């Protein structure tokens, strides 16, 4: 009887760990990537603002100051994007991505066949 209780607890623990790894962990990874992209987009907007301000400025010192601010923001964006690139490359190995590939495999093939058929019709 004790053995079956241990087996049941072991199976429940495995089920909980699988659910957590499939549902919760990918969400945190997605939140981090999303926040980094938002940070980059906000800074890109500021950088373009400073570049336009430097281009339209009649004062040379003001233009140089705006361009230096834009280059500082560009360095920040590059540092953030360097950290994002490996995470995006690893995103294809996430459990949620694997589940999408498993469940939407048939639909993907139908779409691919339709596109190939359209391309074949346009060629001939």
> Are 118 and 101 members of one domain?
yes
Buried b (16+ CB within 10 A) or exposed e, 2-20: eeeeeeeeeeeeeeeeeee
Asked whether residue 121 is domain-assigned, the answer is: yes
pLDDT of residue 64: 93
Q: How many CB atoms lie within 10 A of CB 55?
A: 10
Residue 2 inside a domain? The answer is no
Q: Does the residue 87 lie in any domain?
A: yes
pLDDT at 25: 63
Q: Domain range for residue 30? A: 13-92
Longest distance between any two alpha carbons in the chain, whole Å: 87
The pTM score is 0.52
pLDDT lower than 50: segments of the chain: none
The reported pLDDT for the residue numbered 24 is 64
Q: Domain count for the chain, please give it.
A: 2
Q: For 40-72, write each residue's pLDDT tens digit.
A: 888 988 999 999 999 998 999 999 999 999 999
- Which uninterrupted H or E stretch holds 56? helix 25-56
């Amino acid at each position: 009887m004790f053995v079956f209780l241990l087996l049941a607890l072991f199976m429940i623990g495995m089920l909980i760990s699988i659910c957590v790894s499939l549902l919760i962990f990918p969400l945190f990874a997605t939140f981090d990537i999303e926040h980094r992209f938002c940070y980059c987009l906000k800074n890109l907007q500021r950088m373009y603002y400073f570049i336009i301000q430097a281009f339209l400025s009649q004062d040379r010192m003001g233009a140089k100051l705006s361009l230096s601010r834009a280059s500082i923001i560009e360095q920040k964006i590059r540092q953030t994007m360097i950290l994002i690139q490996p995470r995006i490359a690893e995103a294809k190995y996430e459990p949620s991505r694997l589940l999408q590939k498993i469940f939407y495999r048939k639909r993907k093939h139908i779409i691919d066949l339709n596109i190939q058929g359209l391309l074949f019709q346009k060629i001939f």
